[in-house]
Structure 1
Amino acid sequence: MLRVSNIETFYGPSQALFGVDLTIVAGELVALMGRNGMGKTTTIRSVFGLTPPSAGSIEFEGKDITRAQGFRIAQMGLGLVPEGRRCFTNLSVRENLLATARAGHWDQTKVENLFPRLAERRDQSANTLSGGEQQMLAIGRALMTNPKLLVLDEATEGLAPVIRQEIWRAIRTLKAEGLSILLVDKTLKEVLPLASHCLILEKGQTVWAGEPDALTDDLKDRYLGV
């Protein structure tokens, strides 16, 4: 479904990615891991055309999207839940969902069934929601685009434990329904049982890729420990 091949990405004169490889097969949940500042968000930005790579290639369903504009990439079926949520704060919950709606399986009712809190707060402005509720809204907004591939960048970071569990429940539901997912998260206890495949970035490079069972304690300490 998605193939990222040896991409290099810069912010001005500063190079952030030095050859990242990533492959996602339809129906998989792939975990993108690494310490802070190692290139995970930049990889996602490169995939979505927000910070296009200067070298390498990105293909989605066999089509080259390396130089495609962000809105074209979204129209092809990639849905993004960005780090920091970034809801439309001056719109209501309902308006946030309808703003991105495309015909398909996911509609407002299904999103509200996945996150009942959003139904309870349907007419509230997004800026009145808690951080966890905003995260649910960001996920719901991405689902309303009816993506073929959902990308979640730190979807549970900084949330209260009870909200984190709601988010993880939703992710498990989405995976069970067969949605392809690229997930950035540091919570190995939650990530590894769900992941079909994992890869680790270190200083802007793919340094390890494999199945979750092959991720040894030594690898965790070397690349993911504090």
Structure 2
Amino acid sequence: MQNKTLPTEQPPVFALDNYRILYENSPDMLVSVCASTTKILECNNTLVKTLNTTKNNLIGKSIFSIYHHDCIETVEDAFKNFIEDGCVNNLELLLKNETSILLKVEAVRNVYGEIIYSNSCLRDISNIKEQFTTTNHTNNLLDVDTTDDTFNNTTKRIANSLKLIKDSARTLGKHSKSNSEYTKTMQDIEHRMDTILKSLNEG
């Protein structure tokens, strides 16, 4: 009779250890905040590394302390809305070290439905912002090139039209020698067109 090894259930501590590893090494920054005091209750190593600090320096501090001063008002408004609605969805903010992030917040409530703390996910979008800025810069350069091309094409069309007028005036002047005044007028038109053409070519 063969002995069969039955799969054993993993002890709860194993599951907790796995959760802790995933939590600490998540690609996103994770932080839990007390709803009544705004103090940081817990955070992962990703946030610690991004801010180049330690957990001891973060836990117990106000969540507002991790944000750049330029967006503090936005953060305060978002916190007020969170207390009312229980969530914040994809709010673009700036950390104090100028890392661009996308913030998503969910409420954790007690049995009475009151918000006791929040779980927040802060996604680093610095690379996306940099690529977006680079793309916009490239597009602006292309727009300038396109504008220059349009201007040059328009100038050429005007020059061609003026040249046609000039040539027509010359032809009419040659065929109207009996009328000296008319011939003089045509020569004057030809001269003026020639002056304008030279100005366009110099520009």
TM range (shorter): under 0.3
TM-score by length of 2: 0.23
Higher RCO structure (Cα 8 Å, ≥6 apart): 1
Larger helix proportion of the pair: 2
Larger strand proportion of the pair: 1
TM-score by length of 1: 0.22
